[in-house]
Amino acid sequence: PHRLRLAQVSLQARQGDVVYGYLGWRNPDRSMRVQVGRQLVLSGAPRYTMIDGVFGELMLPADLRAQAYGGTAVFAGFDHALTAPAVGARLAWQPAMRGHLALAFQDVSGLSLATRRTVGADFSARLPAGVALAGSTAWDLLGRGMQDARLDLS
C-alpha cells in the first residue's frame, strides 16, 4: 500500500520549513520498504540525521534488517545553504521482541564543522522481570575519537 505522510511545519516570523514529509512504499509481505523525501534516518548509535533523499530497508533471513540511505543532510534552521551530501547504512540483528544488535556507518561531508564519518554500534535486550538494557557507541573515523557512549538500564 502507498502511504502519504503529511508534513509538520515549523513557523517563525511567518517563515516555515518542512520538518519531515515523504512518500513511502512497502511491499505486501512487509519485507521491503522505500521512502523518498525529507525524513529522519537512524544514522548510527544513537544519532538521527534529517535528510532530503531516499531511504530503503530490507528484511533478510535470520532476523537481519539492512537499511541504507542517501541524499542531502539538512541542518536545523531556516538557512538551506547549510546542507551536505549524506550516505549511510545500518545492519541489525533483531530477533522478535528480544532486543537487537546493530552496526552502522554514516558519511556527511562538505562542511568543515558538519563533516563526519562515523561507525556506530547499538544494542537492546529485554531481561527477566521487565528489565531493559540498552547501549550504544559512536566512533569518529576522521580522528576525533569516540563521539558518544551510553548504557541504560531500566
Stated pTM of the model: 0.79
Confidence band for 104, pLDDT divided at 50, 70 and 90: very high
- Kindly give, in sequence order, each residue whose CB lies less than 8 Å from that of residue 39, ignoring residues fewer than 6 positions away: 20, 22, 50, 51, 53, 55
* pLDDT exceeds 70 at position 12: no
pLDDT at residue 45, rounded to an integer: 59
- Looking at residue 95, what DSSP letter applies? -
| Average model confidence (pLDDT) across the chain | 83
In this prediction, residue 17 has a pLDDT band, given cuts at 50, 70 and 90, of: low
pLDDT value at position 140?
Answer: 86
pLDDT top residue among 25 and 19: 25
Strand boundaries in the chain, DSSP class E: 2-4, 9-12, 15-18, 21-26, 32-44, 47-60, 64-74, 83-93, 99-108, 116-126, 132-140, 145-153
- pLDDT higher at 42 or 131: 131
pLDDT of residue 98: 85
Is 44 a residue whose pLDDT tops 70?
A: no
**So what's the pLDDT on residue 147?**
80
pLDDT digits (tens, 9 = 90+) for 113-122: 667 888 999 9
Coil, strand or helix at 130: helix
- List of residues 6+ apart from 8 with CB closer than 8 A: 18, 19, 20, 21
State what percent of residues in the chain have pLDDT above 90: 43
Task: Give the pLDDT score at 52.
Answer: 92
Q: How far apart are CA 145 and CA 154, in angstroms?
A: 28
Distance in angstroms (rounded) separating the CA atoms of residues 111 and 90:
23
Task: Look up residue 22 and give its amino acid.
Answer: Y
Q: What's the pLDDT score for residue 33?
A: 96
DSSP-assigned letter for residue 63: T
The residue that leads in pLDDT, 16 or 130, is: 130
